[in-house]
Amino acid sequence: MKRLALAVALLALATVPFWVGNSYYVNIATQILIFAVLALGLNVLVGYAGLVTLGHAALFGVSAYAAATLINAGHGSVVVAIGASVATLVVTAIFAILALRGTGLGFVMITVALGQIVWGIAYRWISLTNGDNGISITARPAPFGLSLTSAPAFYWATLVVFLVAVGAMAMFVASPFGAALRGTRDQARRMSALGYNVWLTRFLAFLFSGFWSGVAGLLYLYYNQFVSPQTVALSASAEALLMVIAGGTATLLGPIAGAALVIIMKDVASAYIERWNFVLGAIFVVIVVFMPEGLVPGSVRLWRWAIASLRSRATAPALGRESEP
Amino acid sequence: MHLWLILAVNSVTLGGLLFLLSAGFSLIFGLMRIPNLTHGSMFMLGAYFGVSLIAAGTGFWLAALLAGLGVALFGAIIERFVLRRLIGAELAQVLVTLGLSFMVADACLMLWGGDPISVETPVALRGATAMLGMAFPTYRLAIILIAVVIAVALWGLLDRTRLGAMIRAAVDDPAMARVVGIRVSHLFTIVFSLGAGLAGFAGVIGAPILSVYPGLDQDMLPLALVVVILGGTGRLMGSLVGSFVVGFLYNFGQALFPELAYVVLFLPMLVVLVVRPQGLFGRVTL
């Protein structure tokens, strides 16, 4: 049953360009996959490590900026991919070393501040980042001779990376390391007493998370062919966090559903109103206040509740509303 | 030489404004244990309220007071009807303040448009004042004076009144404060509202210098964050010292390393983090 569902889902994903048709919607699907990779990476920290960060767009952006600079310097895809990954990992390591000095809200505040530094550099260090004008690349590179210019071709390339990311996450969750990380989230002191190096576990999780954010940043640059300070702004970090929280933290499907929700909302909302940020803020408030566990687990809960209440009504109508046994 | 002096005066002025902004931020953090990410929005909202009030003919000072009161009311509503629902879930509270800050920013953009609005300096304070054989811009001196007066008033409130004693008790040990009969949740509303009001007031006072524009909130919030990280939370002295340090760093950073102004601003904070990680949120155990 589960395998069948997986096969159907894979088939549906692989054939998106055929049944969607219009390349505009194929591009939306591509965006969803790119941001799903970012959200999956962020979920490692937010969901499995219990470390909420508001600076993740900076890591995504560093990768995009590094890649744009390397492409404009005339380097090939392999150098660009390696260079962007190394740049992201170095910045991630700095972020991790500094942010892991705080816990809880201290951690959140440090990540906000670090994210703002990166934003400040993107915005002000004009000789490096071209300031507010951002950096554009003239054409999508063609890795290994594959042309990525058409919307479906780029969609399939993104899909491959996305599937690798999902596979990596599934392995990570099931691995002893994933279990240790969840342990540091729930019982840091006990894990420490058991001999686990809590700091190192969190540090490695941060690197893992940053790496996938960097991969998403690289895809984003290839897709958008342009990167600007807006990419690393606080609102971009908040958007990524919203994807994770809206979908449901510490689940594999949640961040993917969250990314789809946010990208589609953004697209629909921007067709009717100019002000996406207002909607973003409102969704944030509503979800946090009314559905704190996220849409996927929240819907599952509502669904179970609905089924249970239907059943109890069917079997025992005379008793009316009955509390669960 | 003259340039340095002007920079120094500007730094002290910005420090004064930042104190008005961060005193509330620090108190809210100390009491409620949350970094209030709407604090920059309160500053901007106050500034826009001031713009509209001045346009309606109230005059500068009345506009500043009314804008401060308006923002204080807005803060009280947010605390009472949104944050109160999430009591005990600090992370959720922070996320809600972040969501609200986006809503406020966009609402301001809709209501007041995207162009920067400049606010005229009050007539009586235009020009320069001669002091020690040099000319200082009068309005900037006035801001410093206002900041000092409010700092003294806040100190008096916290240190010399019953309310202040209750706030200090709740900052130190909320559970024990409740046990001795202090309505800590009322203090939350009062302090949140007071902090918001001060930020709103600072927005109007700062408007003739900074002008009012979309994104003002995002410019001010990180400054308040740095002040609080440098100066510690829940104590006025920390905010005061932190504000002036940040005022100097920001102005001199802008003048000397325009491309790296943000790095210059945040670097000392990182040094504090690395050298004294415990000193950062000092007394707050999270």
B142 pLDDT higher than 70: yes
Least confident of A124-133, A177-186, A213-222: A124-133
Q: Among A132, A265, A278, A287, which would you mutate to test the B interface (most chain B Cβ atoms within 10 Å of its Cβ)?
A: A278
pTM for the model stands at 0.83
User: Where residue A322 falls among pLDDT bands split at 50, 70, 90?
Assistant: very low
User: Which residues from A are below 8 Å from B277, CB to CB?
Assistant: 101-102
Give start and end residues of each alpha helix (H) in A100-187. Answer: 105-124, 126-129, 151-174, 176-186
Q: What percent of chain B shows pLDDT beyond 90?
A: 31
Interface of B with A in 59-118 (CB under 8 A): 82, 85-86, 89-92, 94-96, 98-103, 105-107, 109-110
| Contact check, Cβ <8 Å, B95/A116 | no
DSSP B115: S
Is B134 an 8 Å CB contact of chain A?
A: no
- Quick one: pLDDT band at residue B46, thresholds 50, 70, 90? very high
State pLDDT tens for residues A9-45.
888 888 778 887 788 888 889 999 999 999 999 999 9
| pLDDT confidence bin for A169, thresholds 50/70/90 | very high
pLDDT band at A206 (very low <50, low <70, confident <90, very high): very high
Q: Give, for A136, the enclosing helix (H) or strand (E).
A: strand A135-136
Nearest CB partner across the interface for B98, out of A238, A278, A292: A238
CB A215 within 8 A of CB A37: yes
Look up tokens 């921007």; give the residue.
Answer: A270
**Residue A163 contacts by C-beta under 8 Å, 6 or more apart in sequence?**
A10
Q: Of the candidates B276, B15, B285, B286, which has an alpha carbon nearest to the alpha carbon of residue B144? A: B15
For B286, name the nearest residue in chain A, comparing CA atoms only.
A104
Contact B106 A281 (CB under 8 A): yes
Chain A residues in contact with B103 by the CB 8 A cut-off are 277-278, 281-282, 285
Residues of chain B neighbouring A98 (CB-CB closer than 8 A)? 270, 273-274
Residue A59 tokens, joined: 């890591």
Q: Flag if B100 and A127 touch (Cβ within 8 Å).
A: no
Chain B residue whose CA is closest to A293: B92
Top-confidence residue, B95 or A256 = A256
Contact criterion met (CB below 8 Å) for B95 and A288 = yes
Q: What are phi and psi of A292, to 5 degrees?
A: -60, -20
User: Which of B268, B271, B1 minimizes the C-alpha distance to B133?
Assistant: B1
**Cβ count near B25 (within 10 Å):** 30
Question: What does the angle CA A80 – CA A86 – CA A87 come to, to the nearest 5 degrees?
Answer: 85
Q: How far is CA A21 from CA A15, A30, A266, B57, in A?
A: 10, 13, 21, 58
**What's the pLDDT score for residue B158?**
87
